[in-house]
């Protein structure tokens, strides 16, 4: 089913005017957008690589270091169980760190780009 594009929004109805394709391309080539992308990548990529390495360490130790992983830490909990729970904790910690980073760094930069785009439209 083919749908028609919505009609351009007019300032009279209170909704923002949509930027043109050229405006989006111009914003993409701007230093502001490059800084936003750099800020995101410099935070997300190292955390992703670190988490994948941490997860692979857990998998490899579980597969090949039975003696180490089966050592009792306390009560009936062994090292493997503690590492498994640490995987969940790490996941939530990374999500929290990213949320803080996005709120403090990425969102203000994105809002500035968005307001400039909507203001120019």
Give the start-to-end residue ranges of the domains of the chain. Answer: 29-120
User: What is the phi-psi region of residue 2: left when phi exceeds 0, alpha when psi lies from -120 to 50, beta otherwise?
Assistant: beta
Tokens of 82: 């503690």
Does 10 score more than 60 pLDDT?
A: no
Which 8-state DSSP code applies to residue 106?
I
Specify the pLDDT at position 7: 47
Residues in the chain: 121
**Extended strands (E) in 1-121:** 72-74, 77-78
Specify the pLDDT at position 18: 81
Specify the pLDDT at position 4: 54
pLDDT cut 70: percent of the chain above it? 84
Specify the pLDDT at position 117: 86
Query: What is the chain's mean pLDDT, rounded?
Result: 87
Question: Model-level pTM?
Answer: 0.72
């Amino acid at each position: 089913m083919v749908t028609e594009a919505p009609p351009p929004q007019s300032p009279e109805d209170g909704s923002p005017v949509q930027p043109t394709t050229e405006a989006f391309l111009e914003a993409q080539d701007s230093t502001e957008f490059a800084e936003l992308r750099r800020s995101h990548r410099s935070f997300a990529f190292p955390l992703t690589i670190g988490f994948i390495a941490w997860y692979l360490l857990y998998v490899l130790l579980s597969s090949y270091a039975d003696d180490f992983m089966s050592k009792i830490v306390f009560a009936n909990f062994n090292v493997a169980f503690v590492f498994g729970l640490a995987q969940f904790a790490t996941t939530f910690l990374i999500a929290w760190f990213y949320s803080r980073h996005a709120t403090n760094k990425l969102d203000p930069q994105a809002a500035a780009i968005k307001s400039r785009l909507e203001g120019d439209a």
